[in-house]
Each structure stands twice: as C-alpha cells, then as structure tokens.
Amino acid sequence: MDTKPIDRADSELSDRIATAPAANLPVVLPNPVPPQPRWRWSLILACLLVAIGAAGGGAYWWLHRLDGLPPGIAWGNGRIEADEIDIATKFAGRIAALYADEGDNVKAGQMLAQMDTRDLEATQRKAEALALQAQKVLDGSRANFDQQRTQVTLAQQELERTRFLSPKGYATKEELDRRQQALDAANAMLEAAKARVSESEHALEAARQEIERNAIAIADNTLTAPRDGRIQYRLANIGEVLAVGGKVFTMLDAGYVYMDVFLPTAEAGKVAVGSDARILLDALPNAPIPAKVTFVSAQAQFTPKAVETRSERDKLMFRVRIRIDPERLRDHPAELRAGLPGLAYVRLDPQAAWPRALQPPPGG
C-alpha cells in the first residue's frame, strides 16, 4: 500500500501548526467524517422490507384468520345492518312527553312519546255531545213512528167497520170515502215518521263515527314502537311542534338484522337463497353467528372501494345479503349493534363441512 500521500498530508499539517501565530492558538483540527459503509444502507433497506412484509402478512392473516377453509365456502367482509323504522307523527302537534331515549331496547307496542291532544279531546267531547243529542232525536222519531202506526191501525179498523155498515144502509158512501182518505193519510204520516227514524239513525251513526275518528286520532298521537328493536336516534325534544310526518325517533328493527357482502362472479353464481352462512364479527371473533342467505343480486357491479377481494382480477361483484335468524336476536340482543364490522362466510356446497372455528358453541 502506498503511504506517501498520507505522510505528505501529515507533514503539511505539522508545518501549519509550527508556523501559526501564537494569537491564533489553539488551532482547531478538522474532524473528518468517515464514509458510511454500503452494508449499513443495505441493512436499513432490508429492515424496511421485513416491516412491510410483516404488515402485509398481518393483514392477510386478519382477513384469512380461519386456516384451512374447505372448498365450497366463500367469504366477504361487511358491516352489521338493520332495517331502520322512523317513528313519526301522523298529525301536526306539540310533543308533550318522551318515554325513550337513544340506545334503549323497546318492545312492540311500548309507548315512546305522547303528543299534546287537548284540542282533540275537546273535539271528542263535542262529538259525544252531538251523539247524545242525535240519540234523543232518534228516540223521539221512533216514538212518533209508533204513534203513527197506531193511527194507521185505527184508520184501518174504522174503514173496515164503515165497509161493513155501508151495504146495510147504516153508513153513507160519503162516510166510506172519508174513512178511506183517513187511512191513506195515516199511511203517509207513517212513512214520513219512518223516514225521520232512518234520518235520525244516520245522524247518530255519523256522530258515533266522529267519536271513533277522534279516538283514533288521539290514539295515533301516542307514538308506540311497531316492532321490537333499539332506539338509534332521538330527533326531537319535549315542547317541539312538529308538522305532519315529523320524525321523533329512528329505531332499528330487531327482527331484520343482516350483513351485505360482495362476492366475485365465480362464487356468486354458486350461492342460492337459503344457503347456510356464518357471520364472524371483529368484536366477537370467537362467536360465529348462524345466518342464512336471503338475497342475491341479479346485477353485477364494479368492486366497491371498501371491499377486499382475493383476486384483483375480479372486477365485477354481486351483492349477497346474509340475514341473522330473528329467534337468535331475541336471545342475543347485543348483536343488534349496527355498524359492527366483520366477515361473512357462505357455504356454496351444501355438503361442505364448517371448520371448527365457524361452528357456534353449544347452546349458542
């Protein structure tokens, strides 16, 4: 190795130190930075590649954490959803009371809110008074009808008596004509009384229908839950005046909870409505939920951005709806939490056996 350049540099440095003025002492010697070896950059790059590979492997394991899926079972990711039901007013009015709040589990028929019905109650009392008046008018019309029927009977008897006496000379022809006219008039009065009875009956029925309509309106101002479920949103407060159809609550139907997943063409073509399925929530990774396929879309669409597929070549996907058994939801109300992400597994082949990780626990 040639050391002459190094020796020459040391000699020049010594001369600079010897000839430097005393005022400039001490002289700061330069600290040369040693060049970084190439193997260190290679090590950093290798560590980055390992980290990226570990992250990719972790993601793959998360999506495929069920090892050994047998042929005939497809999977897709999605979120738990439930049908939303809007609890709204039928009539315009003011909210008088609220009996539920967000997150409450409610039963079908349970009272959720009460609207102010004082105006309807006043209308109801008026309708009841009119019905009572109509009943009295009807009673009078019926009494008049009975009276007119008695008059017809009397006129009929007098006419028969006159007809018997007229041939014997005890009654004149004129008397017979008067009796006939009296009977005709009595019959006419009876028909009029009968018409008044019918009119009074219709008036009473109209009053009763008004009472029933007001009772329905008052009942409709008591907002109740149409199905079992959970209150998701409270959209109004006590004292607010709402228009017709104003929303007070939005609830989730406990009887219709499902997950929509997207499957590629090759797998979606093998899915049949009624096929057995399993839902595995991220929050409950050890509790597979039995479900059934209730819908398979007849039209394909491009892969949604939120869907991860096994092959990027599958660009066209079919939406498949997987519904949880309503009976199970009654025993496990916690599964009604809409928005929980997870994976859904669909059995394409009825003969395929579910892996142990997808078999629900005994009694589950």
Q: How far is 196 from 193, CA to CA, in rounded Å?
A: 5
> What is the predicted pLDDT for the residue at 150?
92
Judge contact between 208 and 124, C-beta under 8 A: no
Mean pLDDT of 234-254: 94
Residue 215 pLDDT:
95
Give 77 or 28, the one with higher predicted confidence.
Answer: 77
Residue 18, pLDDT > 60, answer no
Q: Tally helices (H) and strands (E) across the chain.
A: 6, 13
Question: CA 242, CA 339: separation in Å to the nearest integer?
Answer: 30
Instruction: Please say whether the beta carbons of 345 and 323 come within 8 A.
Output: no
Least confident of 2-6, 304-308, 320-324, 331-335: 2-6
**pLDDT 10s digits, 345-358:** 999 988 888 888 88
pLDDT band, very low/low/confident/very high, at 298 (cuts 50, 70, 90): confident
More confident residue, 21 or 122: 122
Output the pTM of the full model.
0.62
CB 127 within 8 A of CB 211: yes
Residue 1: per-residue pLDDT: 46
CATH of 86-116+223-247, one of 2.40.50.100, 3.20.20.140, 1.10.287.1400, 1.10.3720.10: 2.40.50.100
List alpha helices for 166-273, DSSP H: 173-220, 265-268
- Who's near 171: CB < 8 A, 6+ residues apart? 162, 165
Q: What is the DSSP letter of 80?
A: E
Q: What is the mean pLDDT of residues 145-173?
A: 88
Neighbours of 136 (CB within 10 A): 11
- pLDDT in the model for residue 316: 78
Instruction: Give yes or no for residue 217 having a pLDDT over 90.
Output: yes
pLDDT digit string, tens, across residues 169-192: 787 888 888 889 999 999 999 999
Which class for 193: exposed (0-12), middle (13-18), buried (19 or more C-beta within 10 A)? buried
pLDDT surpassing 60 at residue 97: yes
Q: Residue 53: its pLDDT value, please?
A: 54
- Kindly indicate the confidence band of residue 360, based on its pLDDT and cuts at 50, 70 and 90: confident
How confident is the model over 141-169, as a mean pLDDT? 89
The CATH superfamily of 60-84+253-358 is Efflux pump adaptor protein, beta barrel domain (2.40.30.170)
pLDDT at residue 22, rounded to an integer: 45
Q: Is the pLDDT of residue 303 over 80?
A: no
Tokens of 141: 């019309």
Q: Give the pair of three-digit tokens for residue 139.
A: 């009673």
Question: Exposed e or buried b for every residue in 253-291, given b needs 16+ CB within 10 A?
Answer: bbbbbbbbbbbbeebbeebeeebbbbbbbeeeeeebbbb
Percent of the chain scored above 90 by pLDDT? 47
- Decide if pLDDT at 56 tops 70: no
Q: What is the pLDDT of residue 264?
A: 86
- Residue 144's pLDDT band, with cuts at 50, 70 and 90, is very high
Q: Does the pLDDT of residue 231 top 50, yes or no?
A: yes
% residues pLDDT > 70 (the chain): 74
Q: If you average pLDDT over residues 27-36, what whole number do you get?
A: 51
Q: CA-CA distance, 324 to 336, in Å (whole number)?
A: 10
What mean pLDDT do residues 229-242 have? 94
* pLDDT for residue 359: 79
Every domain of the chain and the residues it spans = 60-84+253-358, 86-116+223-247, 119-220
Average pLDDT, the chain: 81
Write the single-letter amino acid at 360: P
Instruction: Choose from 30-39, 259-268, 324-333 the range with maximum mean pLDDT.
Output: 259-268
Residues 312-336: pLDDT tens digits?
545 678 899 999 887 777 666 665 5
pLDDT at 15 over 70: no
- Flag whether pLDDT at 25 surpasses 70: no
Q: How confident is the model at residue 196 (pLDDT cuts 50, 70, 90)?
A: very high
Q: What is the dihedral of CA 91, 96, 100, 102, to 10 degrees?
A: 80
Sheet holding 93-98, edge to edge: 222-224, 111-115, 93-98, 241-242
